[in-house]
Structure 1
Amino acid sequence: MADDLVADFKTAFRTHPAGIALVTAATATGPVGLTASSVASVALDPTSLVFSVTRATGTAGALLGAPSLVVHFLGIQHEELARSFATSGGPRFTADQPWLRLPTGEPYLPDARAALRAIPTHMLPVGSSTLVVAEVVEVRLGPPAPALVWHDLGFHAVGGDAAGPAAPTQPG
Structure 2
Amino acid sequence: MTAAPDTGPARLAPQVTPPGSSDLLRSVFRRHAAGVAVITALGPSGPAGFTATSLTSVSAEPPLLSFGIGTGASSWPAVADATHVGVHLLGDHQRDLAATFARSGADRFGPPTRWRTGPEGVPLLDGVPAWLVCRVRARVPAGDHRLVIAEVLTGDPTGPGRPLLYHQGRYTSLPD
Whether the 8 Å CA contact 1:56–1:130 is kept in 2: the answer is: no
Whether the 8 Å CA contact 1:48–1:133 is kept in 2: the answer is: yes
Match of 2:128 among 81, 106, 112: 112
User: What displacement does 1:12 show?
Assistant: 1.1
Query: 5+ residue gaps in structure 1?
Result: 164-172
TM-score w.r.t. structure 2 length? 0.84
SS in 1 for 2:121: coil
Identify which range, 8-17 or 53-62, moves more after superposition.
Answer: 53-62
Q: Deviations over 1:3-32 (max 9, x none)?
A: 612233221111001111000011221000
2-structure distance, mates of 1:73, 1:63: 18
Q: Do structure 1's residue 33 and structure 2's residue 49 form an aligned pair?
A: yes
Q: Counterparts of 1:1-172 in structure 2 under 5 Å? A: 4-5=18-19, 6=21, 7-55=23-71, 58-158=74-174, 163=176
SS in 2 for 1:24: strand
Whether the 8 Å CA contact 1:110–1:142 is kept in 2: the answer is: no
1-structure distance, mates of 2:126, 2:157: 9
Counterpart position of 1:167 = none
1-structure distance, mates of 2:160, 2:97: 17
Give me the identity figure in percent. Answer: 32
1-structure distance, mates of 2:114, 2:150: 25
Code of the aligned partner of 1:60: W
Query: 5+ residue gaps in structure 2?
Result: 1-16
Q: Find the structure with the greater CA-based Rg.
A: 2
Code of the aligned partner of 1:61: P
| Count of matched residue pairs | 159
